Structure 1
């Protein structure tokens, strides 16, 4: 291999793990299949033919472990280790070896980055940032990001990877839009990876949107298919076919409450996917409403909805199947000539969750893209989202911070960062305490050990109540002493005894 490469090949993998452990061998086989299945086939290709491996692998994992393991005990290692071992010990692909670069977590959401070795790639300036989006700003939902500088010889580029998990449930599109806006506002990348150790007034921070940084965001974004009621979309879902011997078209008899109900994992016809994507909330927010993912793009969705499945791998009746799990990219190269998506699909082979994982294989130019466009920056500022950019913009945010970078870009950027740092410092301690409280409550209610503690406490209270009712303080305790001495007692004799005393 030459000392310099023109393009970086990335494998981006998103999976909602369902708070259950997954075997390393199963994960390894799934990841290998994503790599091997994308190789070009020819009559001359054999099992010994070289395989074009990705240069970087990024895992976006949501609900990696139970809530109490992540928020209370911080004991998610046994759930994370199988994923790290699976990637660092890949087999059957020309002895390709991957090295763990960094891990960043926001509650139950994890971002994990790997690089291929040996390869003439140097990873430097690793920065991380987290934003929590759950109830009371806890890590029940959130986003974890890793920003790195990748260089090879004289070439270099900066890439930002984001693992995200947005608000759940149908009908909450606007809240999910606000989730994205929150991470775009609150992300701050620290050189030392430690928010608490940095000075509040330090200004060596970068915002989420930044000149020259290529960005990817993936995970369980939870955007649903918002079907119009009372009728289904134009296709009448007649084009869904179930693979295998039981293959048959799904007709109106398969609809319950105007929701799709299919007997097994389905491979819908393209017309069906196109019809339903018209009602996809993420498409609406990104393309039509313009309220989230400013500047981001997504490759064509050609795979079936990835949520919601039961333990038998069937869509759950009464729930609208949706493309909750997505991969998006930010291409700052002129004319969208930078990021190339070679593959974007789901991976039904990896089960154990009510989600189907998705992955994308992309290439990015090994060079720094240009600056953020003036139009994009103006749109960001309209939504009170700051950016690390030299784009000329004349506007004042609701915080009263002038963003006329043509006048004083350095001083203004410093003031923006100071405001953000104060907000981060103020909420960090509060969030950690709240996470422990939420984790403790969930532990008591949902875990077997916690149930045992609650049962023991309940039995203890009942026992104490019974004892107090049986042997109350006062007259009865004195009476018990008389009974112990063998003296017959009555209520009248008790009173006489007390009068003597």
Structure 2
């Protein structure tokens, strides 16, 4: 979308799910493919940005599916203590013997290089029993897939003039996820015709 002279892009994605080895590589591949293959064009606006990163401000959100690399029992213990800081230190996935986390992935250039995310101060958003406040696995059921609590649902942004005002989760229980929301203050470029005319008149006067 265009807002005055600024171009904004909003990307909502559901990256590859799962906690098995290699799942994070598929998620990273998803990101690269979305960035590589998404192309915009418009016959009405020749200045339309052609790619996602070529916009002035970009917001990427959805079920990014990155997990916490920690034993399930310890994850649940820390969740019960609301120790988000310790849990976020392990917001990561094993990768060929190395440990990557979403934050490290961004900073190291693997994915989301240069992007930002606000401080997480809320409980992991996945995986809940529908219509309940308890995570799946607290009362184990036969044949049920084991899913440790994780911050799967994220909001990231890229660009200048963006200030995050809030980053929180909403207690809607109709899904096995708790949705997250974020509010931003965004600076946009406004083309001032009066200033342009004054500048052109001044230039004309100075060169006469």
TM norm structure 1: 0.31
Over 3 Å counting, the alpha-carbon distance change for 1:357 and 1:320 in structure 2 is: same
**Structure 2: which 5+ residue stretches go unaligned?**
93-101, 138-145, 191-208
What residue number does 1:279 align with? 90
What residue number does 1:220 align with? 63
Q: Deviations over 1:289-330 (max 9, x none)?
A: 431012210011111000000122311114210000000000
Q: CA deviation at 1:176?
A: 0.8
Q: CA deviation at 1:189?
A: 0.8
CA contact (8 A) 1:267 1:303 kept: no
Q: Distance in 1 between matches of 2:168 and 2:186?
A: 19
Q: Distance in 2 between matches of 1:307 and 1:150?
A: 34
Instruction: Spell out the pairing of 1:84-163 with structure 2 (5 A cutoff).
Output: 148-151=1-4, 156-163=5-12
What residue number does 2:174 align with? 352
What residue number does 1:209 align with? 53
Q: CA deviation at 1:205?
A: 6.7
Which one scores higher on RCO, CA 8 angstroms, separation ≥ 6? 2
Q: Deviations over 1:1-58 (max 9, x none)?
A: xxxxxxxxxxxxxxxxxxxxxxxxxxxxxxxxxxxxxxxxxxxxxxxxxxxxxxxxxx
Return the match for 1:341 from 156, 164, 179.
164
Q: Distance in 2 between matches of 1:279 and 1:298?
A: 16
CA contact (8 A) 1:260 1:319 kept: no
What residue number does 1:132 align with? none
Q: CA deviation at 1:339?
A: 0.7
Q: Distance in 1 between matches of 2:31 and 2:114?
A: 12
Larger gyration radius, structure 1 or structure 2: 1
Q: Deviations over 1:427-451 (max 9, x none)?
A: xxxxxxxxxxxxxxxxxxxxxxxxx
TM norm structure 2: 0.73
- Give the SS at the match of 1:260: helix
Q: CA deviation at 1:346?
A: 0.4
Over 3 Å counting, the alpha-carbon distance change for 1:207 and 1:284 in structure 2 is: same
Alignment root-mean-square deviation, CA: 2.7
Q: Deviations over 1:381-420 (max 9, x none)?
A: xxxxxxxxxxxxxxxxxxxxxxxxxxxxxxxxxxxxxxxx
In the alignment of these two chains, the number of paired residues is 169
Instruction: Spell out the pairing of 1:317-396 with structure 2 (5 A cutoff).
Output: 317=137, 318-331=146-159, 333=160, 338-348=161-171, 350-367=172-189
Relative to total residues, which structure has the larger strand share, 1 or 2?
Answer: 2
Over 3 Å counting, the alpha-carbon distance change for 1:296 and 1:179 in structure 2 is: same
Instruction: Spell out the pairing of 1:401-480 with structure 2 (5 A cutoff).
Output: none
Q: CA deviation at 1:268?
A: 5.0
What residue number does 1:299 align with? 118
- Give the SS at the match of 2:69: coil
CA contact (8 A) 1:188 1:208 kept: yes
CA contact (8 A) 1:261 1:315 kept: no
Over 3 Å counting, the alpha-carbon distance change for 1:192 and 1:355 in structure 2 is: farther
CA contact (8 A) 2:9 2:57 kept: yes
